[in-house]
Amino acid sequence: MSRTILCVATAAGLTCVSLGLMIVRYRVLGDEVLAPRGPGAWRVTLLVNGSSTSKDAKLLTATPLEIGHQHICRESCRSNEFSNKPPASRRPERRQVLWNYRQTISPGRFRVIYEFYCQLDLHRADAPLPHSAKLLYRPPAAGEFLRDEARIECEHPEIAALARQLTEGTDELSEQVEALFRHVDQYIGKEPAVGGGGLSAVQCLKNGRGDSGAKSRLLVALCRNRGIPARMVTGLMLARGKGQEQVAHYWVEAWIHDHWKPMCSFHHYDGHVPPAFLVFGIGDLPIVHGKLVRDLDYAFLTEPSDPKVESVLARPSTLHRFFRSMSLYALPPPEGRLVEFLLLLPVAALLVCVFRNVIGMNSFGTFAPALVGLAFRELESLPGILVFVSLVLIGWGMRRILDSYHLLQVPRTAFMMSLVVVVLIAGIVAANFHDLPATKFMPLFPMVILTGMIERFWTLEVEDGTYASFKTMLGSMFIATTIALVLGIHALVRILFQFPEILGLIMAGQLLLGRYTGYRLSELFRFRDLSMVSGP
Amino acid sequence: MTWLFSRWRRLKERGILGINRRNAEFILDYNSRALYPLVDDKLRMCEMCRDIRVPTPEIYATLESHSKLRQFPDFLKDRPDFVIKPNRGSAGRGVLVIVGRQGPQFVRHNGEKLTPEHLRQHLSDVMSGMYSLGALPDRAIVQQRIQLHLAFESVAFQGIPDVRVVLYRNEPAMAMLRLPTKESNGRANLHQGGLGVGIDLSSGLTHHAVQRNRMVLGHPDTGIPVIGLRVPFWSRILEMSRRVAEAVGLGYLGVDIVIDANEGPMLLEANARPGLAIQIANAQGLVPRLAEIDELKNAPTIRTREAKRSQDVPLRKSA
């Protein structure tokens, strides 16, 4: 068998396996392939409206936590007016999306949409916590969750008097908490939540009514007054129905003996809350807050994900359970984003193959342009590539000067990298002076690539001339820009995540390109004189 | 778009070998990766050539560590001219030709003067791997400088021409003479602006010339015609190339030979991935010739229809 046939056969095999797996998975899981489905799966949309007063406006929107019984996936952020930075995986106890106003848009009305799917384990509300979330439920430190804080006035005389009165005659902590909960649950009336900060604990007590936030603050204040560590939990109640519009929901956790006891005095849950209480964070947190914005308003839309199939999926088959457990939707958000990035790498590599072997474009390093393109796709800032080119050119100038020092290669490269860092820091400081968001254009990721490119640019310029070095630079940046644009297509990322089997197709394409023996497009130009030589 | 397909078709008809096909069907299929270190290592090649009695330029010294840099003025003191090159270099990178001395200074082939400090720095860069394949630490070679042969005096600018012979299955497939120019800074490298002059394999006469892929008739610096030149020692050059190819064991190989005024042809280096510009220099495609060699060797592997067809088409400039 010739190598080309071997290659084609392997590519065909890979294609068949990939397509076969895609079809089988789709037949078994149905629409669950496209998004998480089934009992406990929800699609939640947060819409924020408002007006910005400056181009420096910023917004922070809270996002749900990845903890034991609740799993978040397919997070997406959209806004014409704001760019966004996804939640940092380093802080599992508080995830927020940071929104920065786009410099190209004039201040005015804006809309921000944050959407995600969540999968709740309805049968195991106390499912084991991932390591990263365990610190959320650690025992309180001495004095923690016992002091006054904004809108929780636990030392207020009226609060103190009520707490004392309600717990009189009992020393048992659980009984004290029980008594306090019962009072707030039964004797403090319920109100719907409206915009604004909400009532404080004292106001709620005086009014005798309050929304979930106000009642929770009152219960926390009463507990703390009795020396029982207590805290609020900010979240969202996933209500059944055809699609519910709502705002944040608050409940309380009190530390009794060796665990945090959940209580919702608004919906009368004592000792447990339903899994449908989606946790956004510990504490009295705003869902949305911002800087240089006004008229902020928000609402959630919660929808069970494809409720029609719930009954069908009540007893899923073994294969169904297997595919579901293998699904990328089962990954926590940070891992999900990592997989998204990893899935894009082979696509970028395939594009590099096309540029190199089909078009015949030269670049500095084989995959360096792919990594640069990926870095700028992450930043959603294509002009950053121009900043990158400028840095290479500045670096090239510095490299020419450095040449007269006659340094050994490795220390010289190290020195060059330090110089590049100095230029970057100076650029960031200068940008800040002019109120420009430098971090949008200067990623740290391709720093090493940048230094390598400067060295190669200089070497090529010295050995093959300025034309050759600039031509190669142009080629590198063209490839990087194309990769950034292609990989920036959200639909592509979504499809790859839904059907990771596409990797098999990409690998088949790479195999076929590996035995591509046709001319490169650049060769049609290179051999143009030969093509003009004609026969008789 | 049509011109693209028509140009593609015409190149195919002419039997022009593209880089993808060269890599996939010749280099990957015929050149074992295990043999690359041999051709990429000039010192090993020299040893091998000594065994098969193919002359190579004399090696005066090799430097392996930076500590030896202190001694280099001593071993160069009796050498008025020499060449410094990286052991594992490619495409002429890192080659420094010293043609004489002026006091303590060294004079390059282009007249530039270098201090001993400069020379030491260059040797250090070479040993650091700056000019070597994979940028790995390397050895610096100090080698005999080739004297320009009388036949090339009028067509070489500040450098030494060399003959590139591409061999397929140990048979010469195509050859060209590479002439240094002012633009190439005295180097016989085509991508740096050197002149590529096609050589008729049977006679050793030059028949076509290009610079930067465009046809020329004379040397751009001297104005002397470069077509119709007879390459001296032609049959010896072909014989040497065959012996080197057989000894190296690569099926598709480029061999670079220089002609010294006193000692005749000498092997400069071999290349496991010879470029395709030789086709432009000869105004001929390689595919028909490679197919011919396959037939000669009684093991046709690329007797494709288009190769046969292009064999029958004589090359002629369109009117």
**A411 plus A475 within the same structural domain:** yes
Q: How far is A476 from chain B (nearest CA, A)?
A: 19
A516: chain B residues, CB-CB within 8 Å? 20, 24
- The pLDDT of A420-428, averaged and rounded, is 82
Residue A173 included in any domain: yes
pLDDT at B318: 33
Confidence of residue A465 (pLDDT cuts 50, 70, 90): confident
pLDDT at A188: 92
Sort residue A528 into left (φ over 0), alpha (ψ -120 to 50) or beta.
alpha
Confidence of residue B317 (pLDDT cuts 50, 70, 90): very low
Of A337-346, B71-80, B225-234, the one with minimum mean pLDDT is B71-80
- In this predicted structure, the answer to whether residue B119 has a pLDDT above a threshold of 50 is yes
**A504 plus A412 within the same structural domain:** yes
| Domain span at A220 | 139-274
Confidence of residue B314 (pLDDT cuts 50, 70, 90): very low
Q: Is A1 on the interface with B (CB under 8 A)?
A: no
Residues 6+ apart with CB under 8 A from A167: A175, A176, A179, A180, A226
DSSP SS3 for A479:
helix
**A354 plus A264 within the same structural domain:** no
More confident site: A92 or A124: A92
Mean pLDDT of chain A: 83
Residue A500 included in any domain: yes
Name the nearest CA neighbour of B240 among B262, B263, B257, B259: B257
More confident site: A86 or A527: A527
- The pLDDT of A240-248, averaged and rounded, is 71
Q: pLDDT > 70: what percent of chain B?
A: 92
A7 → chain B, closest CA residue: B24
More confident site: B37 or A19: A19
Beta-strand pair A109-120/A259-264? unpaired
- In this predicted structure, the answer to whether residue B309 has a pLDDT above a threshold of 70 is no
- CATH value at residue A72: 2.60.40.2250
Q: Is A359 on the interface with B (CB under 8 A)?
A: no
- In this predicted structure, the answer to whether residue A264 has a pLDDT above a threshold of 90 is yes
A521: chain B residues, CB-CB within 8 Å? 4
- The pLDDT of B66-81, averaged and rounded, is 76
pLDDT at A319: 86
Count of structural domains, chain A: 3
**Contact between A408 and B19 using a beta-carbon 8 Å cutoff:** no
A517 → chain B, closest CA residue: B21
**A375 plus A412 within the same structural domain:** yes
pLDDT at B254: 94
**Which residue among B14, B129, B214 sits closest to A533, beta carbon to beta carbon?**
B14
**Which residue among A409, A516, A533 sits closest to B316, beta carbon to beta carbon?**
A533
Residue A464 has what DSSP assignment? H
Q: What is the pLDDT of residues B135-185, one digit of tens each?
A: 678 888 888 888 889 888 888 887 889 999 999 999 999 999 999 888 887
Residue A209 included in any domain: yes
**A97 plus A211 within the same structural domain:** no
pLDDT at A435: 66
Among the ranges A80-89, A311-320, A411-420, B255-264, which has the highest mean pLDDT value? Answer: B255-264
Q: Is B1 on the interface with A (CB under 8 A)?
A: no
Axis crossing angle, helix A212-225 with helix A157-166, rounded to the nearest 10: 70
Mean pLDDT of chain B: 84
A536: chain B residues, CB-CB within 8 Å? 313-314, 316
pLDDT at A378: 58
B3 → chain A, closest CA residue: A524
DSSP chain B: -HHHHHHHHHHHHTTPPPHHHIIIIIIHHHS-GGGHHHHH-HHHHHHHHHHTT---PPEEEEE-SGGGGGGHHHHTTT-SSEEEEETTB-TTTT-EEEEEEETTEEEETTS-EE-HHHHHHHHHHHHHTTTBGGG----EEEEPPPPBPGGGTTT-SSS--EEEEEEETTEEEEEEEEE--TTTTT---GGGT-EEEEE-TTT-BEEEEEETTEEESB-TTT--B-TTPBPTTHHHHHHHHHHHHHHH--SEEEEEEEEETTTEEEEEEEESS--SHHHHHHTS-SHHHHHHHHHHTT--SS--HHHHHHHTS--EE--
**Contact between B14 and A523 using a beta-carbon 8 Å cutoff:** no
- In this predicted structure, the answer to whether residue A414 has a pLDDT above a threshold of 90 is no
- In this predicted structure, the answer to whether residue A111 has a pLDDT above a threshold of 60 is yes
DSSP SS3 for A286:
coil
**Which residue among B16, B20, B130 sits closest to A530, beta carbon to beta carbon?**
B16
- CATH value at residue A182: 3.10.620.30
CATH superfamily of B19-54+148-311: ATP-grasp fold, B domain (3.30.470.20)
Residue A29 included in any domain: no
Confidence of residue A445 (pLDDT cuts 50, 70, 90): low
**A492 plus A347 within the same structural domain:** yes
**Contact between B318 and A524 using a beta-carbon 8 Å cutoff:** no
B121: chain A residues, CB-CB within 8 Å? 406
Tell me which residue has tokens 């690998």: A507
Residue A340 included in any domain: yes
- In this predicted structure, the answer to whether residue A214 has a pLDDT above a threshold of 50 is yes
B278 → chain A, closest CA residue: A527
B313: chain A residues, CB-CB within 8 Å? 535-536
The CATH number, out of the four listed (1.20.1740, 3.40.1130, 3.30.1490, 3.30.1330), of the domain defined by the range B59-143: 3.30.1490
pLDDT at A165: 92
A530 → chain B, closest CA residue: B283
- The pLDDT of A10-28, averaged and rounded, is 94
Q: What is the pLDDT of residues B218-232, one digit of tens each?
A: 888 888 888 999 999
Q: What is the pLDDT of residues A312-343, one digit of tens each?
A: 545 778 888 888 888 888 777 777 778 888 99
B315: chain A residues, CB-CB within 8 Å? 533, 535
**A497 plus A403 within the same structural domain:** yes
- In this predicted structure, the answer to whether residue B268 has a pLDDT above a threshold of 80 is yes
**Which residue among B130, B315, B316 sits closest to A409, beta carbon to beta carbon?**
B130
A472: chain B residues, CB-CB within 8 Å? none
Q: Is A471 on the interface with B (CB under 8 A)?
A: no
pTM (2 decimals)? Answer: 0.70
**A399 plus A512 within the same structural domain:** yes
Residue A326 included in any domain: no
Confidence of residue A499 (pLDDT cuts 50, 70, 90): very high
Tell me which residue has tokens 């009368």: A268
A407: chain B residues, CB-CB within 8 Å? none
**Span between the terminal Cα atoms of chain B, in Å:** 24
**A154 plus A241 within the same structural domain:** yes
**Contact between A357 and B20 using a beta-carbon 8 Å cutoff:** yes
Indicate the domain borders of chain B.
19-54+148-311, 59-143
- In this predicted structure, the answer to whether residue B127 has a pLDDT above a threshold of 70 is yes
pLDDT at A73: 80
- In this predicted structure, the answer to whether residue B312 has a pLDDT above a threshold of 50 is no
Cα separation, B137 vs A254, in Å, equals 65
A526: chain B residues, CB-CB within 8 Å? 213, 280
Q: C-alpha angle A438/A443/A449, rounded to 5°?
A: 135
Confidence of residue B242 (pLDDT cuts 50, 70, 90): very high
**Which residue among A459, A465, A523 sits closest to B18, beta carbon to beta carbon?**
A523
Q: Is B202 on the interface with A (CB under 8 A)?
A: no
Cα separation, B176 vs B197, in Å, equals 5
Q: Is B134 on the interface with A (CB under 8 A)?
A: no
Residue A223 included in any domain: yes
- The pLDDT of A143-159, averaged and rounded, is 91
**A425 plus A519 within the same structural domain:** yes
CB A119 within 8 A of CB A331: no
Residue A22 included in any domain: no
- In this predicted structure, the answer to whether residue A27 has a pLDDT above a threshold of 50 is yes
**A345 plus A384 within the same structural domain:** yes
**Contact between B316 and A527 using a beta-carbon 8 Å cutoff:** no
A460 → chain B, closest CA residue: B93
- In this predicted structure, the answer to whether residue A72 has a pLDDT above a threshold of 90 is no
